[in-house]
Structure 1
Amino acid sequence: MLKIRLKRAGQKKKPFYKIVLMKSLSKREGKHIIEFGYYNPLKKFAYINKLLVYKYLNHGCYPTNTVRHLLYRLTQNKINVK
């Protein structure tokens, strides 16, 4: 199963996350299939290519809870996942 999730980048004590599409059983820093954007929790800034994310959501990919919350904050649209 494929999931849209966060992949950690950045330095020690300075987290920076990439929003990527990965297999659900992959490690956090494992190989990703496609990158959708990034999220900086220290500056509370996120960029997500929403059109690409919604394309993969319509194809059956599941977002993690954190990514779902980020998408909700950026678009104010609730994402229904079965």
Structure 2
Amino acid sequence: MVRIRLTRMGKRHMPFYRIVVVDSRKKRDGAYIESIGYYNPLKEPAQINLNVEKATEWILKGAQPSDTVADILSKAGVLKKVHEIKYAKKEKSDEGVS
């Protein structure tokens, strides 16, 4: 299964995370398929930089976000965009059935 999760970077007591697409069997900081952004919780407010198009594309392909990444994606508006894309397709196909 492909997951979207965080991989830890930075020095001790100064965490910095990359948001990556990875096979779920890999280690937390192991090799990843693609990096789609970063998250810095030490800034006030937390700094999030995310490629929304790539994140949307991976979720539509079936990648499952971890709990923390799901919260980050929700704040960035990615999950709303995915929902609109999925249900816009269903509405169009339902109109053709009638």
TM-score, length of structure 2 as denominator length: 0.76
Distance in structure 2 (CA, Å) of the matches to 1:5 and 1:74: 15
Cα RMSD for the two superposed structures: 1.7
Distance in structure 2 (CA, Å) of the matches to 1:78 and 1:50: 9
Retained in 1: the 8 A contact 2:60–2:82?
Answer: no
Q: Indicate the structure (1 or 2) with the bigger Cα radius of gyration.
A: 2
Retained in 2: the 8 A contact 1:72–1:78?
Answer: no
2:61 partner amino acid = H
Whose RCO is larger (CA < 8 A, sep 6+)? 1
Distance in structure 2 (CA, Å) of the matches to 1:16 and 1:59: 27
Question: 2:5 is matched with which residue?
Answer: 5
Greater per-residue helix proportion:
2
1:42 partner amino acid = L
TM-score, length of structure 1 as denominator length: 0.90
Aligned residues: 80
Greater per-residue strand proportion:
1
Q: CA deviation at 1:77?
A: 2.7
Question: 1:74 is matched with which residue?
Answer: 76
| Matching residue within 47, 50, 66 for 1:48 | 50
Identity %: 38
Alignment gaps of 5+ in structure 2: 84-98
Retained in 1: the 8 A contact 2:3–2:21?
Answer: yes
